[in-house]
């Protein structure tokens, strides 16, 4: 399509600013971080110590295991909650109300992320709304410890990702041609069989993409676990920030960040492989 007359330089002039920006402010920092991860803290000697620390120190390991446990739990719960909800919005709610129903469902998206986590802290606090309701109704004798727990982190995450997954699954369901359903009905399948053997398999790739997105966004997030989970148990992002903030140990923080990135890349490869098999 190289038919425009103004020579060979123009196309490069168009794409170079964006490429340069990405190189200088994204690729270069990443290289600096990777290089730093092989340096001694304070010294400047080349070393593998930062990575060895991760392998040797059980509390660092624990943070990675915590991160994986929390993130996988969040992903599973969010998908399981969002799918029926998206299905109801797409199939049960009358057509003309669907847009309104969807806009309502994602309305709290518009609070800022930090504020949303804080709001859950209010709800789950020792004297918060949930504990008041539980004690008031006589279900429990004393307020439960809900804030600053892993459960609080999971609830905060699920809240965000149910909204996100509802959006993606809803879009997925709406894209399905109604003729699939008609064909299944013509062939004698009831609603349940149609769902299990037609709708669900057709939307599965979309769900996988949504689940992968959830996994990636949740495992790299610092805000939710820091505000809601507190410091009782650390997740990887908290561990990384702690190295920067309290100890100024950038080399170790870099090594931990790179390990976290490797895990995400691994998840990506698994997901891509699964999608490829599915398509073939």
Partner 1 sequence: MMRLAGKLLVSAYALAIYGFIFLPVVVLVLFSFQATSFPIPPFTGPSLRWYETVLADTRLTSALFNSVLVALLSSALAVALGFLAAWGFARHHLPRSGLLRGLITLPLTVSYLIIGMGMLILFNAAGIPRSLVAAGIGHVVINLPLCFAIIYSQMGDHQVNIERAARDLGAPEWKVLFLVSVPVLWPAIFASFFLSMTFSWDEFVISFLLTRFDTTLPVEIWNLLRSGLNPRTNAIGSLVFGVSIVFALLLELAFLRRSRR
Of 167-226, which residues contact partner 1 (CB under 8 A)?
A: 216-217, 219-223
Among 46, 97, 114, 183, binds partner 1 (CB under 8 A): 114
Our CB check for partner 1 shows the closer of 21 and 179 to be: 21
Q: What angle do CA 160, 165, 166 make, to 5 degrees?
A: 100
What DSSP character marks residue 249?
A: -
| 120 part of the interface to partner 1, by CB under 8 A | yes
Between CA 147 and CA 153 the distance in angstroms is: 8
Distance in Å, CB of 222 to partner 1, minimum: 5
Q: Which of 239, 227, 230, 254 is nearest to 58 (CA)?
A: 239
| 153 part of the interface to partner 1, by CB under 8 A | no
The whole-angstrom distance between residue 162's C-alpha and the CA centroid of its chain comes to: 11
Distance in Å, CB of 10 to partner 1, minimum: 6
Q: What are phi and psi of 246, to 5 degrees?
A: -80, -35
Among 112, 137, 177, 179, binds partner 1 (CB under 8 A): 112
Between CA 154 and CA 229 the distance in angstroms is: 9
Among 64, 70, 146, 260, binds partner 1 (CB under 8 A): 260
Among 65, 76, 80, 88, binds partner 1 (CB under 8 A): 88
Residue count, binding to partner 1 (CB under 8 A) = 78
Among 45, 59, 95, 127, binds partner 1 (CB under 8 A): 127
Beta strands in the chain (DSSP E): none
Our CB check for partner 1 shows the closer of 184 and 219 to be: 219
Whose tokens are 């490829």? That residue is: 276
| 9 part of the interface to partner 1, by CB under 8 A | no
Residues near 186 by beta carbon (within 8 Å), at least 6 away in sequence: none
**Binding to partner 1 (CB under 8 A): which residues in 226-255?**
227, 237, 240-241, 244, 250, 253-254
| 263 part of the interface to partner 1, by CB under 8 A | no
Structure tokens at 108: 């709290």
């Amino acid at each position: 399509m190289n038919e425009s007359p103004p020579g060979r330089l123009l196309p490069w002039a168009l794409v170079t600013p964006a490429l340069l920006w990405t190189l200088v402010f994204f690729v270069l920092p990443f290289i600096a971080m990777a290089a730093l991860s092989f340096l001694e803290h304070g010294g400047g000697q080349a070393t593998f110590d930062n990575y060895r620390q991760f392998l040797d120190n059980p509390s660092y390991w624990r943070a990675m295991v915590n991160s994986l446990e929390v993130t996988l739990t969040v992903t599973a719960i969010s998908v399981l909650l969002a799918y029926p909800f998206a299905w109801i919005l797409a199939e049960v709610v009358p057509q003309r109300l669907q847009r309104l129903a969807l806009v309502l469902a994602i309305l709290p998206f518009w609070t800022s992320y930090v504020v949303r986590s804080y709001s859950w802290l209010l709800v789950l606090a020792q004297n918060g709304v949930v504990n008041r309701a539980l004690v008031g109704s006589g279900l429990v004798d004393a307020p439960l410890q809900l804030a600053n727990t892993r459960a609080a982190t999971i609830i905060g995450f699920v809240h965000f990702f149910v909204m996100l997954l509802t959006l993606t699954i809803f879009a997925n369901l709406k894209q399905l041609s109604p003729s699939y359903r008609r064909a299944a009905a013509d062939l004698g399948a009831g609603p349940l069989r149609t769902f299990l053997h037609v709708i669900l398999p057709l939307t599965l790739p979309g769900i996988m993409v949504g689940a992968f997105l959830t996994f990636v966004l949740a495992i790299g997030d610092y805000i939710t676990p820091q505000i809601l989970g507190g410091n009782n148990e650390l997740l990887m992002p908290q561990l990384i920030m702690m190295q920067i903030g309290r100890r100024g140990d950038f080399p170790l923080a870099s090594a931990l960040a790179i390990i976290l990135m490797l895990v995400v890349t691994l998840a990506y490869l698994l997901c891509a492989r699964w999608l490829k098999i599915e398509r073939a």
